[in-house]
A and B are shown apart, each in its own frame.
Chain A
Amino acid sequence: MNTDYLPILVQFLIAGGFAAVTLLISVVLGKTAQQRSEVKDQAYECGMLPIGETQPRFSVKFYLVAMLFVIFDIEVVFLYPWAVSFQEFVRDGVWVAFYSMLGFVGILFLAYLYALKKGALRWSD
């Protein structure tokens, strides 16, 4: 059993406990200001009567951003082990380590340029 991670578990329990306790305290001690009514239960929209759907349609761009995020975040994750062991490559003078990463990043950069040209990241129209 890896004991390095036990403090994390304790931290999680303490943080979660803190959140739960504060939420409960407010239930116990909070005073009711006024009886429930239809108006009080309404969604807040600057005092206007809510119109339309509560969950309106939104731009497809948000989905595109989410998909592109997955691709490029994985690229970032792949860069991490390379970066951590880079000092060893430097010590041994392995230029291949440099060029191969240049190739990997280059291929993904082409994909990025394609997304850019297609306007996937353009929000201003």
Chain B
Amino acid sequence: MLEFFSQLTGLIEPTIKIVGLVFLVILPMVAYSVYAERRFSAILQDRVGPNRVGIPFTKVSLAGLGQPMADGLKFILKEDFTPDHVRKVYYWLAPALTMVPALLTCAVLPFGGYLKLPFVDDPFKLVIADLDVGILFVFAIASLGVYGIVLAGWASNSKYPFLGGVRSSSQMISYEISLGLSVIPILMIYGDLNLSNIVQQQHEQGWALLPITLDGFKPVVSMRDLLLLIPLFISFIIFVTSLFAETNRLPFDLPECETELVAGYHTEYSSMKFALFFLGEYAAMIIGSGFAVTLFLGGWSLPFGWGTNGEDSLFWGLVNVGTFFTKVIAFILFFIWVRWSIPRFRYDQLMRLGWVFFFEIALVNILLTAAILMLFRQG
């Protein structure tokens, strides 16, 4: 019994981290990346974008920063309508099934090194669950997201959502293979599945894509690391492209492709149920960016091995958290930039890219990494 209570008090720390990360960071980031997307696209297309909504009942507009709040409120107040022809249980289940896996994956994401609070002896590790199988957990949970979309398409019992759901499932499973293969070179180099350890190693030896540390002002870089940049860069491109496909973003947004399928799998959805799909999609995008940053761009660490992991100073702990979110935001802006610059692929091109190009290149890439590691043994 006593043991049970001690375990319960052990849950306080992760609960604070979860609530802090999910409700104070990820959900506001979702809301504001929608805003950023609308403003950014407006700039790219020479429009104004949402710039009116500010503080209610005053004339303060704050460049439209109140827009996400107004949108959220509108979603809540809209009629909650379930059409007669749908399969009710699954129709209700689908939005939740898209949202929950997207939020679950952020549990293993290290959003900082350590945080040493004053008057507390042990520094806090800034990750919700420090699992030894981190990357496997991510793939296991992220692939559950397919169910939400397939279920939405099937439960809607209507032509276009059904086609959207089928397309989406086959697109997402196809790109899961190249996503899985593109991570393997990283695993071979760092020899670990635990994301915190991978970032710690990148902190000490330089990022995966920037393997340089500074000794005073003299850059230190090894021949092996320079050669490894070739497979790592290929991996990075495959990973990011597959991420676009997995999150159903343009240029791979065939599941919801407006010009052919009305709105794809969520055609029959409205009000908060539609908003949950939207939230799930953007949360997946933000957390996906988080993983790309963690695996390839050094996670929370500064370049060139600057700073510490925050185990002994609050300052560096906070700098690391700031560094991580700066990188993630930069990555999200890249997502938005690509979305508004590149036209949509055709379905046969999409499948060809995933199954023929990426699959083969990723396999060769793994062998290339293995050969480089074997030929340039250290010590």
Q: Interface on A for B, CB 8 Å cutoff?
A: 1, 3-8, 10-12, 14-16, 18-20, 22-23, 25-27, 29-33, 36, 40-46, 50, 52-56, 58, 61-62, 65-66, 68-69, 72-73, 76-77, 79-80, 83-91, 93, 95, 98, 101-102, 105, 109, 112, 116, 121-124
- With A8-B104, A83-B184 in contact, do A20 and B96 touch (Cβ < 8 Å)? yes
28 residue pairs of the A-B complex, CB under 8 angstroms, read A1-B7, A4-B131, A5-B129, A6-B10, A15-B99, A26-B76, A26-B271, A30-B272, A31-B79, A41-B84, A42-B85, A43-B158, A44-B268, A45-B158, A45-B160, A54-B85, A56-B162, A69-B176, A76-B180, A76-B181, A80-B184, A87-B188, A87-B191, A93-B374, A98-B374, A105-B366, A123-B347, A124-B348
Contact at B374–A6, with CB atoms within 8 Å?
A: no
* The one of A10, A52, A80, A98 that contacts B187, using a Cβ cutoff of 8 Å: A80
Contact at A45–B159, with CB atoms within 8 Å?
A: yes
Complex alpha-carbon distance, A109 and B356, angstroms: 12
Complex alpha-carbon distance, A20 and B80, angstroms: 14
A80 CB contacts on chain B under 8 angstroms: 136, 184, 187, 193
Contact at B157–A54, with CB atoms within 8 Å?
A: yes
Q: List 19 other contacts, CB 8 Å, given A15-B99, A18-B103, A26-B75.
A: A7-B15, A7-B18, A7-B129, A8-B131, A11-B103, A26-B80, A29-B77, A30-B77, A44-B158, A44-B262, A50-B158, A56-B162, A69-B176, A88-B191, A89-B374, A93-B377, A116-B356, A121-B356, A123-B347
* The one of A16, A25, A90, A101 that contacts B272, using a Cβ cutoff of 8 Å: A25
Contact at B273–A23, with CB atoms within 8 Å?
A: yes
B130 CB contacts on chain A under 8 angstroms: 4
Residue ID in chain A nearest B101 by CB atoms: A15
Contact at A43–B377, with CB atoms within 8 Å?
A: no
One of B61-69, B166-174, B241-249 at the interface: B166-174
Interface string of B257-300 (1 = CB under 8 A from A): 00000100001100111011000000000000000000000000
B187 CB contacts on chain A under 8 angstroms: 80, 83-84, 86
A107 nearest CB across to chain B (Å): 12
Pairs of residues from A and B, 3 with the lowest C-beta to C-beta distance, nearest first? A26-B272, A7-B14, A123-B348
Interface string of B68-83 (1 = CB under 8 A from A): 0000000111111101
B192 interface contact, C-beta 8 A: yes
Residue ID in chain B nearest A27 by CB atoms: B80
A1 CB contacts on chain B under 8 angstroms: 7
- With A22-B272, A30-B80, A54-B157 in contact, do A102 and B367 touch (Cβ < 8 Å)? yes
Contact at B129–A8, with CB atoms within 8 Å?
A: yes
B336 nearest CB across to chain A (Å): 25
A68 CB contacts on chain B under 8 angstroms: 355
Contact at B159–A54, with CB atoms within 8 Å?
A: yes
A31 CB contacts on chain B under 8 angstroms: 77-79
Contact at B103–A43, with CB atoms within 8 Å?
A: no
- With A8-B107, A93-B377 in contact, do A79 and B347 touch (Cβ < 8 Å)? no
B76 CB contacts on chain A under 8 angstroms: 22, 25-26, 29-30
B15 nearest CB across to chain A (Å): 6
B234 interface contact, C-beta 8 A: no
Complex alpha-carbon distance, A109 and B181, angstroms: 14
B370 CB contacts on chain A under 8 angstroms: 86, 98, 101
Interface string of B342-374 (1 = CB under 8 A from A): 000001100110011001000100110011011
- With A90-B377, A98-B371, A123-B347 in contact, do A11 and B128 touch (Cβ < 8 Å)? yes
A72 nearest CB across to chain B (Å): 5
Contact at A6–B7, with CB atoms within 8 Å?
A: yes
Contact at A23–B95, with CB atoms within 8 Å?
A: yes
Complex alpha-carbon distance, A14 and B275, angstroms: 18
A52 CB contacts on chain B under 8 angstroms: 159
Complex alpha-carbon distance, A88 and B15, angstroms: 37
Residue of A26, A27, A58, A95 most packed against chain B (CB within 10 A): A26
Residue ID in chain A nearest B130 by CB atoms: A4
* The one of B7, B22, B100, B363 that contacts A109, using a Cβ cutoff of 8 Å: B363
Residue ID in chain A nearest B274 by CB atoms: A26
Complex alpha-carbon distance, A98 and B173, angstroms: 28
Contact at A7–B159, with CB atoms within 8 Å?
A: no
A101 nearest CB across to chain B (Å): 7
Residue of B103, B348, B355 most packed against chain A (CB within 10 A): B355
